[in-house]
Amino acid sequence: MRIVMAGASGFLGTRLAERLRQSGHDIVRLVRRPSERPDESSWDPAQGRLDQAVLAGADAVINLSGANVGDHRWTAAYKRVLRSSRIDTTDTIAQTIGRLPADERPRVLLQSSAVGWYGDTGDQAVAEEAPAGNTFLADLCRVWEAAARPAEDAGARVVLLRTAPAIDAGGSLIKPLLLPFKLGAGARIGGGRQWMSWIALADWLAAAEFLLERDDLAGPVNLVSPRPVTNAEFTRELARVLHRPALFSVPGPVLDLVIGGLAGEAQRSQRVLPGVLSQAGFAWAYPEIGAALAATLGAQPAMAP
C-alpha cells in the first residue's frame, strides 16, 4: 500500500511507520516544514492547506496528529492547543479526501481518537456503543471524531482509533513514573479504586495494522486491553516488575497542584472494553498488565535503596 501519514514523528507514529515499512508498505510523511526527502510532503493544517495530489491515489491515510495531553498544565491556552492540533489536522485531511474524485480517493482513513471519549464510567464496563462522557477530553474527542466526517460522507472507510495509554518505557504513561517508582516512591492515585484502560504498545501496533487491512471494519474501535485494571493493581504490578515497594497514595489536591486540569482526568475511572476487536478475532499478545509491564520493563535496572 501507499500510505500517507500525519503525526508520523510522534511516539506512536514513529513506531507504526517503521512497522508498516517492514511489512512492505510505502509511507509518505506529512511534515509542517519544507519537505527534505522523497517520502515527505509539506502541509499547513492550521491554514487548511494540503495538496490534493499527495492524497490522490493513496491506498490509505493515517492521522495520528495531536499535541500531547500530558506534556503541559491544562491552562486555557494549552486547552486551545490540544483542540486545534487535533481539529485542524483532521478537518484538513477529511476535507481533502472529500474533494477527490472517487477513483483517486484513499479507501481508508485511520483517524486517531482516545478513550477519553467515555468520560468517567465508574465501575461500569463500556464498549464502542457507549455515548460520550461529560468531561473536557470527552468533548474534545467528540469534535475530533466529527471532524473526520467529510471523509466518511465521501465514501472512505473511516476507523476511529479510540486509544488507551500505551504501555512502553518511552510512553507518556510509564516514562514519568519510572524514576519515582525506582526510588521507592511509587504511589497509587487516591484510593486506587478507579479503573484504568491501557494497551501494550506491541498490541496497539498490531491492532492498527489489523484495522488497516480489514475492509469490513469501520467507525469507533477501542484500542485497549481486554483486561482493564484498577489504579491500585496497576501500581502494584509496576512496583513488582521494578522490584521496588509502592506504599504511598497521592491525594487528589496534591495532583491538582502538580499537574492542574489533568489531575481530574487522572482520577477518573474508565473501564473500557475492546468490543469491536474482540468480535473481529484480534489476538492480544499482552492482555494482562503484569505481562505487558514485564515485556517492556523487565530489563530495567533497579536502583539501589
What does the pLDDT read at residue 251?
62
Select from 3.40.50.720, 3.40.50.300, 3.40.30.10, 3.40.50.450 the CATH code of 2-172+197-226+270-286.
3.40.50.720
Separation of alpha carbons 33 and 75, rounded Å: 27
Domains of the chain by residue range = 2-172+197-226+270-286
pLDDT at 121 over 50: yes
The rounded percent of the chain whose pLDDT value lies above 90 is 77
C-alpha cell of residue 214: 480489514
Task: For residue range 130-141, list pLDDT tens digits in order.
Answer: 999 999 999 999
**Residue 12 pLDDT:** 96
Question: Is the confidence at residue 248, as pLDDT, over 90?
Answer: no
State pTM to two decimals.
0.93
Per-residue pLDDT at 130: 97
